[in-house]
Amino acid sequence: MTAANEQERRPGSVPPGADPAEEATGVDIGELQAALAAAEARAAESKDLYLRALAEVENVRKRASRDVEQAHRYGVERFANELIGVKDSLELGLASAASLESLRSGTEATLRLLAKAFENAGLVEIVPEGETFNPEWHEAMAAQPSADRPPNTVLQVVQKGYQLRGRLLRPARVIVTREPS
């Protein structure tokens, strides 16, 4: 027997040119290296996708913040444009007021413009005359005795109140009834 044949037959011996780890485990090192390279490529791709998603979320956050800032800054723009028309109408009325009657009709037209601007903005008048006094919407300025109306009824509106889309801006200032003494 030759020395080479003897080495091949010894248990645990590795033939020349063979990988000892491959011989011991039965796994091809080349396959493991290819699998590792594929896993690293997938990990790099996943990291890239994660970083892109993170950047997109940050961009959306910044865009939303800018939009909110713009809404706060220019939220009354439409209402302001309508008020410009009211001011123009008042100026024209004053400039062309030849008589008291023409001044009155111009003022009434301007008041209609202002009411329309209020309506478009969601601003509603609170005129509670004849209603029951409500401290959430009304501010009592005085109380007067009344025999013909029940107590705590709004007798007279001193100053109109206003609400914006259901939220109180200014309570109506009123005079309420009380029982006669």
Res 35: pLDDT: 95
pLDDT digits (tens, 9 = 90+) for 92-150: 877 777 788 888 888 888 899 889 988 888 899 999 999 999 999 999 999 999 989 99
What's the Cα-to-Cα distance from 163 to each of 119, 123, 173, rounded to whole Å?
Answer: 11, 6, 13
Last residue of a domain, one of 56, 74, 92: 74
- Side-chain-facing half-sphere of 150: CA atoms under 13 Å: 4
Q: What is the mean pLDDT of residues 62-84?
A: 85
CATH code of residue 132? 2.30.22.10
Buried b / exposed e over 62-84, threshold 16 CB at 10 Å, is: eeeeeeeeeeeeeeeeeeeebbe
Instruction: Report pLDDT for 10.
Output: 52
Query: What pLDDT is recorded for position 20?
Result: 59
Q: Does residue 150 sit within a domain? A: yes
What is the predicted pLDDT for the residue at 59? 96
Neighbour-count burial of 123, counting CB atoms closer than 10 A to its CB (0-12 exposed, 13-18 middle, 19+ buried): middle
**Residue 175 domain-assigned (yes or no):** yes
Residue 157, number of CB atoms within 10 A of its CB: 20
pLDDT above 60 (res 177): yes
Asked if the structure places residue 168 within a domain, the reply is: yes
What is the span of the domain harbouring residue 68? 26-74
Q: Which of 125, 114, 61 is nearest to 86 (CA)?
A: 114
Distance CA 41, CA 21 (A): 25
Quick check: 68 pLDDT over 60? Answer: yes
Which tens digits make up the pLDDT trace of 14-45?
Answer: 555 555 555 666 778 999 999 999 999 999 99
* pLDDT given for residue 171 in this prediction: 95
Q: In the listed set 74, 105, 135, which residue is the last one of a domain according to the structure? A: 74
- Residue 176 φ then ψ, to 5°: -110, 160
| Domains identified in the chain, total number | 2
Q: Within a domain: residue 147?
A: yes
Last residue of a domain, one of 74, 106, 133: 74
Kindly state whether residue 43 falls inside one of the protein's structural domains. yes
Q: Which tokens hold the place of 51?
A: 């970083």
Do the domain assignments include residue 154? Answer: yes
